[in-house]
Amino acid sequence: MGGLGSGRRKDRARKTVESHLTLDVNLLSEKGCLRPGCSSTCQWIVSNEVVSINLRAEAERLSLSYNVQVGNGERQDIAETIPIVRLRCRFGGSRAYFICPGPGSGTDCGRRIAKLHLSRRYFLCRRCNHLAYASQYEQPRQRALRRVNKLRERLGIGVGIAEPLPDKPKGMWARTYGCLLNEILQAEILANEAQANRFKRLLAQVDNDLQADRPKGRRC
Ligand SMILES: [Zn+2]
């Protein structure tokens, strides 16, 4: 039986925000799950299994209950309470934030935050869980290509350099179209430069290895 915390050893080793279950206060607010008295369930698919947590909202907090697999493989029922604050927006209305219940360095964390991530037993902020964003691990070329793909999607075309750039889409301002083309060009130049630099490093490495393997006194 899987469930929360199981089947995720590989993901956990990567320690990125994206590989952990996330509670988004804005999403919960949109769906009405933060209304005092509301009981709801959040579900995810992890390793082909549905895992869920139960939520119960009160005026200034959200109570969670779920079951996780802990380090030694045993399962444990967890009850967690997350304080919620609502701040007035500049143009009216209010916006909800979680207050991270995690322990910081010597004191409680208390960060006002929109997203909490499950690592080990509890939903805590990214810093308390020591999680990085996946993009922080990306190589320069991957980062540039991701940027290219994102920009291409804005022009309504699929990812990949092979697909030709379209004419200006109907309804798009010429200036916006021009800016997008320019940004795609710059990102593609960066990606190509990063690729060329990698080739150079690999070739230099091969050259070094060949030098090291070559018997002394012989030249080719
Ligand atoms: Zn925290």
Q: How much distance in Å is there from the Cα of 164 to the middle of ligand 1? A: 45
- In the chain, % of residues over pLDDT 90: 30
pLDDT of residue 218: 55
Q: How much distance in Å is there from the Cα of 181 to the middle of ligand 1? A: 40
CA 20 to chain centroid: 8
Number of helices (H) and strands (E), helices first, in the chain?
4, 9
**Count of beta carbons in the 10 Å neighbourhood of residue 50:** 10
Q: How much distance in Å is there from the Cα of 74 to the middle of ligand 1? A: 26
Please check whether residue 53 is in contact with residue 42, taking contact to mean a CB–CB distance below 8 angstroms.
yes
Give residue 30's pLDDT band: very low, low, confident or very high (50, 70, 90).
very high
Q: How much distance in Å is there from the Cα of 80 to the middle of ligand 1? A: 14
Mean pLDDT rounded to a whole number for the chain: 83
Q: How much distance in Å is there from the Cα of 185 to the middle of ligand 1? A: 39
pLDDT tens per residue, range 5-20:
444 444 444 588 878 8
Give residue 36's pLDDT band: very low, low, confident or very high (50, 70, 90).
very high
Please check whether residue 79 is in contact with residue 54, taking contact to mean a CB–CB distance below 8 angstroms.
no
Average pLDDT value for residue range 126-151? 83
- The C-alpha atoms of residue 15 and residue 115 are separated, in whole angstroms, by 16
Question: Burial, 98: exposed, middle or buried (Cβ in 10 Å; 0-12, 13-18, 19+)?
Answer: buried
This prediction has a pTM of 0.58
Q: How much distance in Å is there from the Cα of 101 to the middle of ligand 1? A: 6
Q: How much distance in Å is there from the Cα of 105 to the middle of ligand 1? A: 10
| Tokens standing for residue 145 | 């290509």
- Amino acid symbol at 131: L
Q: How much distance in Å is there from the Cα of 119 to the middle of ligand 1? A: 12
Q: How much distance in Å is there from the Cα of 131 to the middle of ligand 1? A: 11
